[in-house]
Amino acid sequence: MNITYETINILFLLIPGFISTRVLDAVITRKQGDNPGKVVEAFVFSFLIYACVNFIYQWQPLVKPKKIGNIYEYSFTSDFVLLGITLILSITIPLIIGAFIHNDLHTKILRKIHVTDKTSRSSVWQDVYVNEKRHIVAHLKDGRRVYGWPMYYSHNSEEPHLYLFQPAWVTDVGEYVECSTHGILLKNEDVEIIEFMTNSGEDLSQLNGEI
């Protein structure tokens, strides 16, 4: 397969966008997209990066083609300021976007003005554990109940696991029997339902209807 110099030049132009895509994948949990979708995302990131570079400094291609006879040669830019700004933006822009997505900032505003009722996170599982910082009671399939603080939890709702800090078994009469351990790891197939406990002094009536 012959690859034209235009194709190679486009690939070089997309490198900052691909870096941003990988950074975003590292900081948030999202469903795996197809390859064309990743390329489109890299295009969008590259556009944002180059627009910011041009606003801050002065944009020019990082790699420039030069034709000598019938052969194209590529020379990398010697402008290290341009290179540094591009690299910094390739990392900081997806970090900022990732923070918005993880904390549900932009969709929270859209919900307030009734544009949508969606959140920005990948699943209800993640929504609940990010928003509801409280102790839980896990009902196991064998009938036992265990109380604890969800210190760690899987971000992937398809394979959810829970690590409960300072767990205590809950008896049939509602007594708590401490395990005297640091924590307990629960697998998805062992859990039937999960209760989220109210915090001390919490008035649930004031939370009715809030998002």
Task: List the CATH number of the domain containing 129.
Answer: 2.30.30.100
Fill in the DSSP letter of residue 206: G
Q: C-alpha 208: how far from its chain's center?
A: 28
Which tens digit of pLDDT belongs to each residue from 78-116?
778 888 899 999 999 999 999 999 888 888 888 889 898
Which tens digit of pLDDT belongs to each residue from 19-36?
999 999 888 887 776 667
Q: Could you identify the residue written with the tokens 């570079």? A: 53
For 203, half-sphere exposure in the C-beta direction (CA atoms, 13 angstrom radius) is: 2
Which tens digit of pLDDT belongs to each residue from 139-182?
999 999 999 999 998 877 667 788 999 999 999 998 999 998 99
Q: Which pair of tokens denotes residue 98?
A: 């990732």
Give domain status of residue 114, yes or no: no
| Entry pTM | 0.73
Domain that holds residue 14: 5-109
Based on the structure, what is the number of domains in the chain? 2
Name beta bridge partners: 183. 165
- Grade residue 46 by pLDDT with cuts at 50, 70 and 90: very high
| CB neighbour class for 93 (10 Å; exposed up to 12, middle 13-18, buried from 19) | buried
Q: Are residues 87 and 145 in the same domain?
A: no
